[in-house]
Amino acid sequence: MTFGEALENLKQGKKISREGWNGKNQYLGIASNISFIDLNGKEINSTHETMGNKAIVFYGTSGIQVGWLASQSDLLSEDWKVIE
């Protein structure tokens, strides 16, 4: 599966992963209702004009990374899969 196909599945709420990733049980998902505490201690509910309040999240062996970015290898690989 290409990255484009995987991304469409991700947008539909499915978890996706790559065969080429080294760690077991690593995958991407979409998080919503994202908020954070700013430097003044105020809770901010982040919203973007075109994508709303969502971010791609990487669930890895060391924890969760909000705001995952694809590498060139990720973009060009065709070993993407939907996982249960």
pTM tops 0.95 = no
Cα–Cα distance for residue pair 45/78, rounded to 1 Å? 35
Rg of the chain taking only CA atoms, in angstroms: 14
What Å distances lie between residue 32 and 42, 47, 77, 81, CA to CA?
A: 19, 10, 27, 22
Residue labelled with tokens 């062996």 = 61
Full domain range(s) for residue 63: 3-83
Q: Looking at the 3D structure of the chain, how many domains does it have?
A: 1
Identify the burial level of 38 via C-beta atoms within 10 angstroms of its C-beta, where 0-12 means exposed, 13-18 middle and 19 or more buried: exposed
From first to last of the 84 residues of the chain, give the pLDDT tens digit.
999 999 999 999 999 999 989 888 899 999 998 888 999 999 988 888 877 889 999 999 999 999 999 999 999 999 999 998
Q: What integer pLDDT is reported at residue 9 of this predicted model? A: 98
